[in-house]
Amino acid sequence: MTKVEKVTHWQEVIAKHFASGLSAAAFCRQHDLNIHQFRWWQRRFRKENSQGKEAGFLQLVPFSKTQHAGIRIHLNNGVFIEVEQGFDPLTLRGVIEAICGGESTQCSR
């Protein structure tokens, strides 16, 4: 497996874990993954995502009263993003970065 394939594989695994709602331990047991390797990749992706970016928050607001509804994200630049439950977090991150034009300050204050 090439380095790019390995990174892509682990990004998909981390995204599936996020969407599953399971604890990391339960997810790893269910998918026969090494928890230490899983945690290493989680930390790596978190570190890569935080480097060079200002810390900030996004406001997450439920947009429906139903139990299985997604979320509406209101960015400070006036843009709303609505996502359904089970969305792909990597795709969402790419959308937010595209909307913010690579400048975290537009979306974080």
Summarised one tens digit per residue, pLDDT across range 13-40 is 888 888 888 889 999 999 999 999 999 9
Q: Distance between CA atoms of 33 and 24, rounded to whole angstroms? A: 10
Q: Return the amino acid letter for 93.
A: R
Do 103 and 63 share a structural domain? yes
The pLDDT assigned to 36 comes to: 95
pLDDT at 104 over 50: no
Summarised one tens digit per residue, pLDDT across range 48-60 is 766 554 445 555 5
Greater confidence (46 vs 63) lies with 46
State percent of the chain over pLDDT 70. Answer: 64
pTM beyond cutoff 0.75: no
Do 104 and 76 share a structural domain? yes
Determine the structural domain holding residue 22 and report its residue range: 3-50
The pLDDT assigned to 102 comes to: 57
SS3 at position 7: helix
Greater confidence (49 vs 44) lies with 44
SS3 at position 83: strand
Do 69 and 46 share a structural domain? no
Q: How many structural domains compose the chain?
A: 2
Token representation of residue 85: 């439950």
Determine phi and psi for 80, rounding to 5 degrees: -110, 140
Do 67 and 29 share a structural domain? no
Q: Distance between CA atoms of 82 and 40, rounded to whole angstroms? A: 31
